[in-house]
Chains A and B, each alone.
Chain A
Amino acid sequence: MTSLTISHLTKRFEGVTALDDVGFDVAPGERVALLGHNGAGKSTLMKIVLGLIPASSGSVALMGAAPGSRAARSLAAYLPENVAFHPALTGLEQLGFYLRMRGEPARGAMPLLEKVGLGHAARRRIGTYSKGMRQRVGLAQALIGRPRLMVLDEPTSGLDPVSRREFYAILDELAGEGAAILLSSHALTEVEARTDRIVILSQGRLRANDTLANLRRKAALPIRLQVTARPDTADSVAGQLAGARRNGVMVDLMCRHHEKLARLGQIAGLQPLIEDVEVLPPSLEDLYSHYSRSEGQ
């Protein structure tokens, strides 16, 4: 059984269509990144999945349970964008509260805070925490009770690079235990390395839903061959390869996937003139722009 099934999901707010016939699944242990511009419908989709707002039409099931039902809420954990807590409570008290809300004893709060690196600040009021620390409290509460589905809205915003790595290490551990993870992010490079599949939303519609490798193949975006010429040969290299000079020694060649080997052969033929060559596949940013623009206009 899939952990999360979304089909033909549509949401309208007073004439504005926030989500239009969106459908995809998330399997146990799978990490799915939800990408899209601001206002693309990511947060709306997450809120519907969690039962916070109703859908206009279509269906959502969390391990077969309806969103918002007690069964679904027991299975899912949520980390909202810009997560907030009452400033007068300490991290320990706040987490104890969330533990008891899931029917677990409050004494589990300290180990969870230590897991997210907040053990030293556990007895301080959340009002004194930095944004990154609040985000860690948010992650700690999402770890309560081994959730089967984690819905994380921009989870790494406000975290420094080291914290991000720790954060993804925790997610990997959870996914390894079979939790399904749906997360949204603007940091495309971290998504690239840390997720199994990518779903792209644009203007409320599903533009792409596949693994990164497949998305690359289907988009067939040009590959960039970056040739470093030896001193004073850049013009000649650019001329012979029909490429564009970027600076004194660099020449850029764009080519299709199927042309790649032939082009590399040509470059190899000019070996005396050439220092180095790099093959740069289209970046996630390129892919993202490609898919969020396609079909839309």
Chain B
Amino acid sequence: MTRILAAAAAEARIALRNRWVAIAVAMMALFSMVLSATGSAPTGILGADRLSVTVASLTSLAVYLVPLVALLMAFDAVAGEVERGTLPLVLTYPVSRAELILGKFLAHLGVLALAVAVGYGIAAAAAIWTDPRAQAGLPALWRLGWSSVLLGATFLGIGYALSALARRPGAAAGLAIGLWLVLIVLYDLGLLAAVVTDGGGRFTTQVFPWLLLANPADAFRLYNLAASEATAAAAGLGGAASTIPTTLALASVALWPLFSLVLATLAFRRVTP
């Protein structure tokens, strides 16, 4: 455990000095502020409180932004050490590769959690400031907060795995962006196209829900929308969410981080210094 903490402390210092902490926090804060400023329009029509509406907007934002920030922090983790030549030395120490990865993971997850807390905190403060009823949305915001951190954890692990597979920071960055594009953007487009073509057949009823659950970003969105009727209504995406039990979405959100960390460790073990 001391070894994991030592690795985490060193990584946290590096993140601080490389401005990753500042960049991650600034990105989340900026986007939250923009959403808070523009997200006031639908309130009157739907009758939901201001914060619940903001949470719905934040959910859509987090699906894009949290994985991106996580991948940006993670892609250099192994490939950067290989390129700098720092890896052989640390691997001669009595520390396992899983411990090294976990140390980096703890530090990066801390940065991500801080960014999420600052971003969502700003959004919550803005909502409550303008609408006293907004406190009703706090449970939804809390749920969004911790599930965002879990989503980030998943993509940190995936980022480490890509970093270990690529061995070079440039290649790792390319893989990370490619994966982000596929999982966050193209995956949903592909599913949409398939559902439209299928026209309500077996694919739509039997396969489609599982494919949604299999993608950590979709599971995250489903969970947050299904868990709160108000946000689902506000997002206007309740249809897909309602066919899948919330517990299954939650299971996917919770299990993905573990799965991605196992992937990361396995990929890191294959790296010969």
Contacts from A to B (Cβ < 8 Å): 47, 50-53, 70, 73-74, 76-78, 80, 82-86, 88-89, 93-94, 96-98, 100-103, 106, 125, 138, 141
Contact = CB atoms under 8 A, between A and B. Distances in A.
Given A50-B92, A93-B13, 13 more contacts: A47-B88, A80-B85, A80-B89, A85-B86, A86-B14, A88-B13, A89-B17, A100-B5, A101-B6, A101-B93, A101-B94, A102-B94, A103-B94
A83 B89 contact: yes
Contacts of A86: 10, 14, 84, 86
B77 to A, nearest CB: 12
Contact of A52 (B3, B14, B86, B91): B91
19 contacts: A47-B273, A51-B92, A52-B273, A73-B93, A76-B92, A78-B92, A80-B85, A84-B85, A84-B86, A86-B10, A86-B14, A89-B17, A97-B6, A97-B9, A97-B10, A100-B5, A101-B7, A103-B2, A138-B89
B89 to A, nearest CB: 5
Contacts of A88: 13-14, 17-18
Q: DSSP majority for the A interface?
A: mixed
B90 interface: yes
Nearest to A106: B6
Interface in B68-106: 84-86, 88-95
B272 interface: yes
A163 B84 CA distance: 25
A88 B18 CA distance: 7
B93 A98 contact: yes
- Sort A-B residue pairs by CB-CB distance and give the 3 closest, nearest first: A100-B6, A84-B85, A88-B17
A85 B6 CA distance: 15
Contacts of B273: 47, 52-53
Contacts of A47: 88, 273
Interface of B: 2-3, 5-7, 9-10, 13-14, 17-18, 84-86, 88-95, 272-273
Contacts of B90: 101
A87 B41 CA distance: 49
A23 to B, nearest CB: 22
B103 to A, nearest CB: 10
Chain B CB count within 10 A is highest, among A82, A93, A97, A102, for: A97
A111 B215 CA distance: 51
Contact of A73 (B17, B88, B94, B272): B94
A96 B93 CA distance: 13
A96 to B, nearest CB: 8
B146 to A, nearest CB: 30
A3 to B, nearest CB: 16
A81 to B, nearest CB: 9
Contacts of A52: 88, 91-92, 272-273
B6 to A, nearest CB: 3
Contacts of B84: 84, 86
A78 B94 contact: no
Chain A CB count within 10 A is highest, among B5, B84, B86, for: B86
Nearest to B96: A70
A100 B10 CA distance: 11
Nearest to A88: B17
Nearest to A54: B272
Nearest to B86: A84
B23 to A, nearest CB: 15
A247 to B, nearest CB: 48
A233 B3 CA distance: 75
Contacts of A94: 10
Nearest to A145: B94
A50 B93 CA distance: 9
Contacts of B6: 96-97, 100-101, 106
B166 to A, nearest CB: 19
